[in-house]
Amino acid sequence: MKTKYRKSMNCQNCEQYRIFNNDILLFENATSARTSLNTISNYAKNILDKLSLMRDKVELCDFRININNKQFLCHKFLLIATSDYFKAMFNGNMNESRSDYVELKGFENSSHGVESMINFCYSGLLQITFDNIDQLLHAATHLQIKHAIDLCSQFLIESCSLNNCIDIYKIADFYSLTNVLDIVHLFISKNFLSLMFHAREQFEQLTYEQIYQELSSDTLEMNTYNEYDLFIMTCTWIEANRIEREKYAIDLFKLIRFMLMTPEQLCDHVRKHELININEQSRKLVEDALCYYASPNRQPSLNDIQCQIRNEPVLVAVGEIELFTLNTTLDRWETLCQAPLEENYPV
């Protein structure tokens, strides 16, 4: 029997009807019928689970990864989809693109990282600890599995603390994790002085470049610490490996603002320190600071980095009896201090 379609003449509210085996099916408002996109819950996960189970059977796999006398069965299409390393391998003119296996080199110490990466490609799950982070990143960066690298990077960022920030910085630097480096560097800068007093082992691992950069900063966050604390920190860092680091002493001491220390600190401790006395330039820095205190009338006119307070630049307005500073966070002027007497201004 033929299926017939005719416009309805008797049904005002129906735009179309279809006759099929003498049954009338009405389609109300057919031209504006609702459509919906339906999905099966966890569809993608279920497919990946089944693909992973297929790795147990050789006949259901089309590729094999050999490493350290171990063999890992897998599927080319999934490796291409998850790894830029394999994508380049299979799409290029390499011998492996025409082969059904590859021998991975550079993982002689352990195959754990590669095995974890293969499992990650089939599950999206990655168990990360400080015990395995190096192996995971070694494999993830070698195989160029971006999502795994991102997970490792996030783990490092979230785990960063005073007790491990330098270790994390070294890992991030070794594997060129730029986003991790930026965040950890900011953390180190904010907690530079706290490292010495609360995580000395981490502090002593800082490189000369890192120490130099922080001491050079005009905006170093001092919190409750002072320049004398910076001096003690610098001496502690040098003495942790004196043979290698003593040559940096004068360059680092030039960055410490001795004129901001108290006369008591300079006289009783700094000028007697061994690292100061072994170098004439170091002794000169301390002598200049003592002369600074000996000539208080010249202090306002002295333009030397040794007497500049470390702080963020602020806008200051001079009123008749007070000084005001602009609080950019709250967007308002706040009283800084009483205005100095006119006769105290340098001529």
Give me the residues paired with residue 70 across strands. 67
Kindly indicate the confidence band of residue 313, based on its pLDDT and cuts at 50, 70 and 90: confident
For residues 75 and 61, is the Cβ–Cβ distance under 8 A? yes
**pLDDT value of residue 3:** 46
Please report the DSSP string for 214-274 in residue order: HHH-TT---TT--HHHHHHHHHHHHHHTHHHHGGGHHHHHTTS-GGGS-HHHIIIIITT-H
Helix, strand, or coil here: 41?
A: coil
For residues 185 and 169, is the Cβ–Cβ distance under 8 A? yes
User: For domain 191-311, which architecture applies?
Assistant: Alpha Horseshoe (1.25)
Select the more confidently predicted residue: 341 or 200. 200
CA angle 130, 145, 98 (to 5 degrees): 135
For residues 17 and 26, is the Cβ–Cβ distance under 8 A? yes
How far is residue 63's CA from residue 340's CA, in Å, rounded to a whole number? Answer: 81
Res 258 pLDDT > 80: yes
Cα torsion angle, 206, 212, 215, 217, sign: negative
Most confident of 19-33, 101-115, 255-269: 255-269
**pLDDT value of residue 9:** 44
For residues 309 and 222, is the Cβ–Cβ distance under 8 A? no
For residues 15 and 29, is the Cβ–Cβ distance under 8 A? yes
Res 2 pLDDT > 90: no
Residue range 58-109, pLDDT digits in tens: 899 989 999 988 899 999 999 999 999 999 988 877 777 788 889 998 888 8
| Domain 45-159 sits in CATH 3.30.710.10 | yes
Q: Which of 96-105, 175-184, 323-332 is predicted least confidently?
A: 323-332
In the chain, CATH 1.25.40.420 covers 191-311
Select the more confidently predicted residue: 144 or 29. 144
What global pTM score does this model have?
0.74
Kindly indicate the confidence band of residue 26, based on its pLDDT and cuts at 50, 70 and 90: low
Mean pLDDT of 43-70: 89
How far is residue 82's CA from residue 268's CA, in Å, rounded to a whole number? Answer: 64
Relative to beta strand 101-103, strand 63-67 is parallel
Question: Residue 173 contacts by C-beta under 8 Å, 6 or more apart in sequence?
Answer: 181
**pLDDT value of residue 302:** 77
In the chain, CATH 3.30.710.10 covers 45-159
Residue range 133-147, pLDDT digits in tens: 999 999 999 999 999
* Residue labelled with tokens 């033929």: 2
Res 1 pLDDT > 90: no
The beta-strand segments (E) located in the chain are 4-6, 16-20, 23-27, 63-67, 70-74, 101-103, 316-318, 322-327, 332-338
Kindly indicate the confidence band of residue 174, based on its pLDDT and cuts at 50, 70 and 90: very high
**pLDDT value of residue 248:** 96
Cα torsion angle, 238, 244, 246, 251, sign: negative
Residue range 272-282, pLDDT digits in tens: 999 999 999 99
- Give percent of the chain with pLDDT exceeding 70: 88
Q: Nearest CA to 169 among 153, 154, 180?
A: 180
